[in-house]
């Protein structure tokens, strides 16, 4: 019975955090790190007889979803700031 790859566990945790963390740039960074770690862990699992390939795949999926969510949050923040700025400027004229 082999051990579970620790990088696959960490990639899953980072992927989940990247989805639910409300700070956009930190969640984006965690998602990118999660994708990198899940890719490395899948390569290690293929070379060794460790377990955790499902965790690594889940980590990659969660990281990708987290990155998409964070990008949407960043875009919504930029658009809301721009719209408030436009409304304030149009009220002054």
Look at residue 90 in the predicted model and tell me its pLDDT. Answer: 81
Look at residue 86 in the predicted model and tell me its pLDDT. Answer: 86
Look at residue 78 in the predicted model and tell me its pLDDT. Answer: 92
- Compute the distance between CA of residue 57 and CA of residue 39 in angstroms, rounded to an integer: 9
Q: Are 47 and 77 in contact (CB under 8 A)?
A: no
Look at residue 1 in the predicted model and tell me its pLDDT. Answer: 59
- Compute the distance between CA of residue 37 and CA of residue 45 in angstroms, rounded to an integer: 12
The tens digit of pLDDT for each residue in 48-85 reads 989 999 999 999 999 999 999 999 999 999 999 999 88
pLDDT at residue 38 greater than cutoff 90: yes
**Percent share of the chain, pLDDT over 70:** 96
**Helix, coil or strand: residue 4:** strand
Q: Which two tokens stand for residue 17?
A: 């955090």
CA 24 to chain centre: 10
pLDDT at residue 30 greater than cutoff 70: yes
């Amino acid at each position: 019975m082999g051990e579970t790859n620790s990088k696959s566990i960490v990639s899953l945790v980072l992927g989940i955090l990247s989805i639910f963390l409300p700070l956009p740039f930190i969640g984006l960074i965690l998602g990118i790190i999660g994708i990198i770690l899940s890719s490395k862990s899948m390569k290690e699992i293929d070379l060794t007889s460790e377990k955790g390939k499902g965790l690594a795949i889940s980590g990659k999926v969660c990281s990708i979803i987290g990155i998409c969510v964070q990008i949407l949050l960043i875009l919504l923040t930029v658009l809301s700031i721009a719209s408030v700025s436009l409304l304030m400027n149009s009220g002054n004229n």
